[in-house]
């Protein structure tokens, strides 16, 4: 009896989450695949309405054009390695001379920011200096 109730609740939650997903990302579509925006499926993003969460607040331009032309920014969801070395990978996306906003899918401010939260705080230089002075005075 309990297993049936638990299974029914799990199925209901799965259906509710699936129904909520398209509504949340209704204004963002992966133009490369034509599918809704999903983690792990990279491509150019069509934005209709509100902009998706971004990695950087300002657009990134890999290579400046000799004659700059006013171009609309492009929204891209790319693998993290390509984002770090964008100038090496921009040609794959045909966006070297265009301003690019990188879309963030995981909801975290940055992976480095999350990593820093897990590290122990380092002692301040003055505390170390005070300890060394105390040892030297003995």
Do the beta carbons of residue 77 and residue 43 sit within 8 Å?
yes
Domain ranges of the chain: 26-137
Q: What is the DSSP letter of 90?
A: G
Reported as a single tens digit per residue, the pLDDT across 49-69 is 888 888 888 999 988 767 666
Give backbone dihedrals phi and psi of 60, rounded to 5 degrees, phi first.
-105, 135
Reported as a single tens digit per residue, the pLDDT across 33-52 is 888 877 788 889 988 888 88
Is the overall model pTM greater than 0.85, yes or no?
no
Q: What is the DSSP letter of 40?
A: T
Largest CA distance in the chain: 74
40 vs 96: which has the higher pLDDT: 96
Do the beta carbons of residue 58 and residue 23 sit within 8 Å?
no
């Amino acid at each position: 009896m309990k297993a049936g109730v638990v299974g029914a609740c799990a199925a209901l939650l799965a259906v509710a989450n699936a129904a909520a997903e398209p509504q949340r990302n209704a204004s963002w579509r992966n133009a490369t695949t034509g599918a809704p925006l999903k983690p792990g499926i990279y491509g150019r993003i069509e934005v209709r309405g509100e902009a998706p969460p971004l990695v950087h607040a300002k657009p990134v331009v890999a290579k400046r054009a000799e004659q700059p032309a006013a171009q609309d920014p492009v929204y891209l969801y790319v693998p993290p390695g390509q984002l770090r070395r964008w100038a090496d990978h921009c040609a794959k996306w045909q966006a070297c001379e265009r301003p690019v906003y990188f879309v963030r899918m995981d909801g975290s401010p940055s992976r480095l920011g999350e990593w820093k939260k897990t590290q122990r705080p380092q002692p301040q230089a003055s505390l170390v200096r005070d300890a060394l002075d105390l040892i030297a005075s003995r």
